[in-house]
Amino acid sequence: MSLDENLAALLAPASAAQTTPPETVRPAAVSPKGWEPGVRYEPGGAMLITAPAADAPPQDEAGWRSRVEDLGLVVPDGYRVRLVEARHDPAAWHRDAQGEDAVTRPVWRCRYLVEPSTPGWASADDLNSLIRDVMRRRRQPRTPADQPARSLAVVYADPQVGKVGRDGGTKELVGRVAERFDKLQDHLRDLGKVGRAPDSAYWLDAGDCIEGFENVASQAFTNDLTLTQMIRMHRRLTFEGLDRLATAFPRVVAATCGSNHARVRRGKDPVGPPQDDWGIEVMSQIADAYAKNPDAYGHVSFVTPEPWRDSISLDMSGTVVGLAHGNQYARPEKAPDWWRGQSFGRQPIADARILVSGHFHHFRAQQLGAGRLWVQAPTLDNGSDWYAMRSGEVSQPGLLVFSVTADGWDDLRIL
């Protein structure tokens, strides 16, 4: 064949046989990802069925059931078929029959759910059985090995020894504190009766142990003790409270924090660092005395703030409890914001799940964040008459107690 003939053959139109691709390379109808026909079995016996593409979705349950049964599936008695998803594909490849060319035309892709006609939770008989079984269930008695570690928190807040107010002076304060200590022993007896007796105790001194003379000028005329007498009285009251715990528990922890009334001051201004505090000093004195008698008090330990800190944290049976006086913020409503800031600043109470505070002389509890609790303890003092005159609010004295386990807190009472 000459060169001209070869060129003419190359330029000639192709024959029909040459332009028709073999059957093996014809485009097939391919389902989009996630819409491949099939069955997925769901919990509870339900079936989620993805059907092949069709011209239009059925309009009622009879049509849905027919579409499912056309796939060779059997709908059991007591089950229904429900259309749960339908998607329109305006330009889908579709092959009408084996061997025919695939064409492009709109189709619908549908999913059906085969499920019980009456869900178990909606069945009256099942619901009645559920309620009956739950109400008949009896908790298995716990063995000693099953009992979690449990700590008792005793919050001794704001006695302000030496202060005279509407509820009396030092004599009345001592009587009030002694009565609360008696109620504390009753509380321990009650916890034992219900099987929630603590195995350790924490004495949480929330500050303002004495009234002092330096906060405001009127304190010079509203006290019935001298400064040294206030400190001595507070030390002896603390001795009494700790002694009762020391005889009742194999482990006792005594802790305190810095506060405003107990701070060493000149006028309203602090003189030294945060630990220059009469409450912290008295706790140190008691620790020195207990150390002289390890046979009686060797199981009692003491915790005070680190230098340049005025708050502490304690691990109580697996739950971290923070202790701060509360004078760090101007109003009790500001306690949550202050606590959040302390957490961001990695201060001593950063990891606490429970925060205990005093200062504001009334009980308050608030849940915060994910499982945190702020508890403001009531006062033990003789009354805040200046605040009552200004606001009309009258604080009720009391000794706050609650129990702590690794799961959180319970048995919160005001004695």
Instruction: Tell me, yes or no, whether 151 and 90 share the same domain.
Output: no
CB 383 within 8 A of CB 401: no
What b/e sequence results for 196-226 when a residue is b if at least 16 CB atoms lie within 10 Å of its CB, and e otherwise?
Answer: bbbebbbbbbbbbbbbbbbeeeebeebbbbe
Instruction: Tell me, yes or no, whether 101 and 234 share the same domain.
Output: no
User: Is 190 domain-assigned?
Assistant: yes
User: Is 162 domain-assigned?
Assistant: yes
Instruction: Show pLDDT as tens, one digit a residue, over the chain (415 residues).
Output: 555 665 455 455 555 445 444 444 444 456 788 888 888 887 767 888 888 888 888 889 999 999 889 888 888 888 899 998 888 888 776 666 666 666 777 888 899 989 888 765 555 566 777 787 778 777 777 666 667 899 999 999 999 999 998 899 999 999 999 999 999 999 999 999 999 999 999 999 999 999 988 777 777 778 999 999 999 999 999 999 999 999 999 999 999 999 999 999 888 888 889 999 999 999 999 999 999 999 999 999 999 999 999 999 999 999 999 999 999 999 999 999 999 999 888 899 999 999 999 999 999 999 998 899 999 999 999 887 766 776 677 788 999 999 999 999 999 999 9
User: Is 13 domain-assigned?
Assistant: no
User: Is 136 domain-assigned?
Assistant: no
Q: What's the CA gap between 362 and 311, in Å, rounded?
A: 20
Instruction: Tell me, yes or no, whether 76 and 180 share the same domain.
Output: no
Q: What's the CA gap between 228 and 231, in Å, rounded?
A: 5
Question: Residue 405: in which H helix or E strand, if any?
Answer: strand 400-405
Instruction: Tell me, yes or no, whether 292 and 345 share the same domain.
Output: yes
Instruction: Tell me, yes or no, whether 65 and 195 share the same domain.
Output: no
CB 349 within 8 A of CB 365: no
Give me the residue label for tokens 């619901």: 127
User: Is 134 domain-assigned?
Assistant: no
Q: What's the CA gap between 203 and 413, in Å, rounded?
A: 15
Instruction: Tell me, yes or no, whether 106 and 159 share the same domain.
Output: no
CATH number of the domain residue 262 falls in: 3.60.21.10
Q: What is the pTM of this model?
A: 0.69
Range of the domain at 76: 30-121
Instruction: Tell me, yes or no, whether 334 and 187 share the same domain.
Output: yes
User: Is 366 domain-assigned?
Assistant: yes
User: Is 364 domain-assigned?
Assistant: yes
- Residues near 68 by beta carbon (within 8 Å), at least 6 away in sequence: 49, 51, 75, 81, 112, 114
Instruction: Tell me, yes or no, whether 286 and 320 share the same domain.
Output: yes
Instruction: Tell me, yes or no, whether 389 and 251 share the same domain.
Output: yes
Instruction: Tell me, yes or no, whether 39 and 169 share the same domain.
Output: no
Instruction: Tell me, yes or no, whether 244 and 310 share the same domain.
Output: yes
